[in-house]
Structure 1
Amino acid sequence: MPARGEDSGRTAWPRRIGWLLALWALGVLALGLVAGLLRLLMTAAGLTA
């Protein structure tokens, strides 16, 4: 069994970057969904620009 950090260093960075991008994309998607829901609620209440 290799010591921690020997061979796993090569695969750790791409995996970490992948998780970072996935979490960022999910955060942006969640904000978009909340904004859309708020827009629908505001329109339903008669608050239009």
Structure 2
Amino acid sequence: MTGEPDVQVKKPLWQRLGWLVLIWLASVATLGVAAWLMRLFMAAAGLTTH
């Protein structure tokens, strides 16, 4: 131990919110791709979503 205090530097609010929005967008896009692939496979199997 060096005796120096643990100083945690907080990132700016806009940067923290930016990461939150980026993670949210990535999760929404992933769910959209998963839903699209499921519809694709269902259509290939002869199932439709009329």
Q: Could you say whether these structures have the same fold, taking a TM-score greater than 0.5 normalized by the shorter chain as the test?
A: yes
Structure 1 segments unaligned to the other structure (5+ residues): none
Give distance in 2, aligned partners of 1:24 and 1:12: 19
TM-score between both structures, scaled by the size of structure 2: 0.74
Runs of at least 5 residues in structure 2 that lack an aligned partner in the other structure:
1-6
Cα distance between partner residues in 2 of 1:12 and 1:37: 38
> What is the percentage of aligned positions where both structures have the same residue?
42
Kindly report structure 1 stretches of 4+ aligned residues shifted beyond 2 Å.
Answer: none
Which protein is richer in helix relative to its size? 1
Larger Rg: 2
Q: How far did 1:23 drift?
A: 0.4
Count of aligned pairs between the two proteins = 43
